[in-house]
């Protein structure tokens, strides 16, 4: 039997040592009728070689982005990952360890979390970062819950320029404790500031915003901050792309209270959408309401620096139903990938990734805007992603180009927007890739005419 060491002979010896003759004697607590009833219908076990064949059979028709030209984004991005990242996260020392409950034999994990927290704080400009959440969506939901706990108010303003999948998850997470979610309209691709102002009142726990927003455009963060903080207690919760923070305002520059985002772009593969990881950073004064684990530096009995899980009195294993969150396992290994990635890239590398992605996105936007019928959805500034009005249904364009293994973007009408195309560009895209996309769209037009 695979992966089990003991043989039948050894099992028998052990049963004898337990004072029983057969296995069934050990499980007498299980009512016999359930044992009799259970019938199982899995297939016959596969050997390792057969397994490889079976899986390869299934996956050989998948067309990964690495074998296509992909402009897919919408929260998950295909940035370049240096080889050293996968090497480190494949080490069993990190891969096969549990949550670092025994600090003395978990210093490797605890120290990298401390370094991760430091780098997230540096990118966001915030004072404290937790050890990570499941994904950007659940991090955003937990931030809303945190704001509710802090302000004891139950109204959250959620602009429609926020990733619609995040809005769905926020809805699921907040419905149990009856948080009122108020949708703020968009105008020309960014938050309608007048509508925001009009919905804000002293019962407001928080204002969420995403910048660059789901449509790719930059929100007017300074104006939004002014409006938000004009309410008595309301907290400002930006959702940000960590790569963008190499060049765009750090959320601390516009007085953010809680900062969250999807961390996948930092050294993690797209993995068909999971695992991902969410980051959550805030100010020291909000630390007691913060969800998730935290690694802190202290001293051991000999006075050496030691890292431990700290401020655990917030967490479910201590506080049970009064905990700040139910989270236990997060997506730790993905935060390790991000830590290694940020170390390798350093300040300049991350800035180059951000600059190249921006430059290329702007090149492509300009080229596409020259085509008849194609027009940028907004004149607002954007980072590495933008939305485009197209002369044909976006869905049709995507289907047509996927025949040539090109993924031109995400048709976002499926998420309740107009029929527009969301296009993401990373540093992995070459000028040639973009010129090919433009040519294909041209030929699509010609085919239409014929």
Partner 1 sequence: MSKTIFEKNSPGRKGYTLPENDVDYKLNDCIPPKFQRNEIPRLPQVSELDVMRHFIELSHKNHFVEKGFYPLGSCTMKYNPKISDAMAGDIALRDIHPLQPENSVQGALQIQWELQRDLAEISGFASATLQPVAGAQGEFTGIKIIEAYHKAKGNNKKTIILPDSAHGTNPASAALCGYKIIEIASNDKGMVDLEALKEVVNEDTAGFMLTNPNTLGIFESQICQISEIIHAVDGLMYMDGANFNALMGLVKPGEMGFDVMHYNLHKSFSTPHGGGGPGSGAVGVRADLVKFLPYPMIAGNTDEGFFLDSSHKATSIGKVHSFYGNFMVNVRAWIYLKMLGNQGLKRVAENAVINANYLMRKLEKYYYVPYNESCMHEFVASGIWQKKENGVHTLDIAKRLLDKGYHAPTIYFPLIVPEAIMIEPTETESKETLDEFIQTMIDIAAEAKNNPQILHDAPLNTPIRRADDVRAVKQLNVKFDLCNMPLTCEE
Residues 285-314 that bind partner 1 (CB under 8 A): 287, 293-302, 304-308, 310-311
Q: State the binding string over 2-41 for partner 1 (x if CB under 8 A, else -).
A: xxxxx---xx-xxx-xxxx--x-xxxxxxx--xx-xx-xx
Dihedral over alpha carbons 84, 87, 89, 94 (to 10 degrees): -120
Quote the least distance from Cβ 73 to partner 1, whole Å: 8
Residue number, 2 or 450, with CB nearest to partner 1: 2
Handedness of CA 68, 69, 71, 75 (dihedral sign): positive
Contact assessment for residue 393 and residue 411, using Cβ atoms and an 8 Å cutoff:
yes
Of 94-113, binders to partner 1 (CB under 8 A) are 94-109, 111-112
Of 340-379, binders to partner 1 (CB under 8 A) are 340, 342-353, 355-356, 358-363
For residue 16, the SS3 value is: helix
Handedness of CA 342, 347, 350, 352 (dihedral sign): negative
- Give the strand pairing for 278-282 and 128-129: antiparallel
Query: From edge to edge, which strands make up the β-sheet containing 128-129?
Result: 128-129, 278-282, 258-262, 235-239, 204-210, 155-159, 180-184
Quote the least distance from Cβ 30 to partner 1, whole Å: 5
Of 195-234, binders to partner 1 (CB under 8 A) are 218, 221-222
Quote the least distance from Cβ 391 to partner 1, whole Å: 20
Choose one: 180-188, 194-202, 430-438, 440-448; the region binding partner 1 (CB under 8 A).
Answer: 430-438
- Report how far residue 139's alpha carbon sits from residue 260's, in angstroms, rounded to the nearest whole number: 6
For 243, which DSSP code? G
Judged by CB under 8 A, does residue 122 bind partner 1?
yes
- Report how far residue 105's alpha carbon sits from residue 208's, in angstroms, rounded to the nearest whole number: 40
- Between the alpha carbon of residue 281 and those of residues 10, 310, 313, the distances in Å are 52, 16, 18
For partner 1, the binding residue among 236, 248, 420, 441 (CB under 8 A) is 248
Judged by CB under 8 A, does residue 90 bind partner 1?
yes
Judged by CB under 8 A, does residue 45 bind partner 1?
yes
Q: What are 366's two structure tokens?
A: 């300009």
**Number of shown-chain residues binding partner 1 (CB under 8 A):** 207
Choose one: 1-9, 152-160, 224-232, 439-447; the region binding partner 1 (CB under 8 A).
Answer: 1-9
Choose one: 176-184, 202-210, 227-235, 439-447; the region binding partner 1 (CB under 8 A).
Answer: 176-184
Q: What are 355's two structure tokens?
A: 């600059």
Judged by CB under 8 A, does residue 274 bind partner 1?
yes
Q: What are 53's two structure tokens?
A: 């064949």
Judged by CB under 8 A, does residue 393 bind partner 1?
no
Q: What are 48's two structure tokens?
A: 């390792």
Judged by CB under 8 A, does residue 55 bind partner 1?
yes
For partner 1, the binding residue among 80, 187, 201, 418 (CB under 8 A) is 80
Judged by CB under 8 A, does residue 283 bind partner 1?
no
Q: What is the largest CA-CA distance in the chain?
A: 84
Residue number, 195 or 293, with CB nearest to partner 1: 293
Q: What are 314's two structure tokens?
A: 């917030």
For partner 1, the binding residue among 198, 201, 230, 326 (CB under 8 A) is 326
Q: What are 132's two structure tokens?
A: 């990570």
Judged by CB under 8 A, does residue 84 bind partner 1?
yes
Choose one: 188-196, 197-205, 231-239, 318-326; the region binding partner 1 (CB under 8 A).
Answer: 318-326
- Report how far residue 401's alpha carbon sits from residue 34's, in angstroms, rounded to the nearest whole number: 54
Residue number, 178 or 370, with CB nearest to partner 1: 178
Quote the least distance from Cβ 237 to partner 1, whole Å: 17
């Amino acid at each position: 039997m695979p992966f089990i060491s003991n043989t039948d002979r050894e099992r028998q010896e052990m049963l004898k040592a337990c004072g029983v003759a057969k296995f069934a004697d050990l499980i007498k607590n299980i009512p016999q009728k359930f044992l009799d009833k259970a019938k199982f219908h899995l297939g016959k076990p596969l050997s390792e070689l057969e397994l490889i064949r079976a899986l390869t059979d299934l996956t050989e028709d998948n067309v990964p982005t690495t074998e296509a030209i992909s402009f897919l984004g919408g929260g998950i991005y295909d940035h370049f990952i240096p080889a050293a990242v996968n090497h480190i996260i494949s080490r069993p020392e990190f891969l096969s360890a549990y949550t670092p409950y025994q600090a003395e034999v978990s210093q490797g994990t605890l120290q990298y979390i401390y370094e991760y927290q430091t780098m997230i704080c540096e990118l966001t400009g915030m004072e404290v970062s937790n050890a990570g959440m499941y994904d950007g969506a659940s991090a955003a939901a937990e931030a809303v819950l945190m704001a509710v706990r802090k302000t004891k108010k139950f109204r959250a303003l959620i602009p429609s320029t926020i990733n619609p999948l995040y809005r769905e998850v926020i809805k699921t997470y907040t419905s149990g404790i009856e948080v009122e979610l108020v949708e703020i309209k968009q105008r020309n691709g960014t938050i309608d500031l007048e509508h925001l102002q009009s919905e804000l009142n002293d019962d407001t726990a928080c204002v969420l915003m995403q910048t660059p927003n789901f449509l790719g455009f930059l929100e007017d963060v300074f104006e939004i901050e002014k409006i938000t903080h004009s309410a008595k207690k309301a907290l400002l919760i930006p959702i940000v792309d960590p790569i963008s923070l190499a060049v765009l305002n750090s959320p601390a520059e516009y007085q953010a209270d809680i900062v969250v985002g999807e961390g996948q772009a930092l050294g993690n593969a797209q993995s068909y959408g999971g695992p991902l990881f969410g980051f959550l950073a805030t100010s020291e004064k909000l630390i007691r309401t913060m969800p998730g684990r935290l690694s802190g530096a202290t001293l051991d009995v000999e006075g050496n620096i030691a890292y431990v899980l700290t401020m655990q009195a917030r967490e479910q294993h201590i506080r049970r139903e009064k905990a700040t969150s139910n989270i236990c396992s997060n997506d730790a290994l993905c935060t390790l990938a991000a830590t290694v990635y940020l170390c390798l890239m350093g300040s300049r590398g991350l800035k180059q990734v951000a600059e190249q992605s921006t430059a290329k996105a702007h090149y492509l936007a300009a080229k596409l805007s020259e085509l008849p019928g194609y027009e940028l959805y907004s004149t607002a500034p954007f980072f590495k992603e933008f939305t485009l009005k197209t002369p044909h249904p976006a869905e049709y364009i995507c289907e047509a180009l996927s025949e040539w293994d090109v993924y031109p973007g995400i048709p976002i009408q499926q998420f309740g927007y107009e029929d527009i195309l969301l296009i993401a560009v990373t540093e992995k895209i070459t000028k040639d890739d973009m010129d090919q996309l433009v040519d294909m769209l041209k030929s699509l037009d010609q085919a239409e005419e014929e």
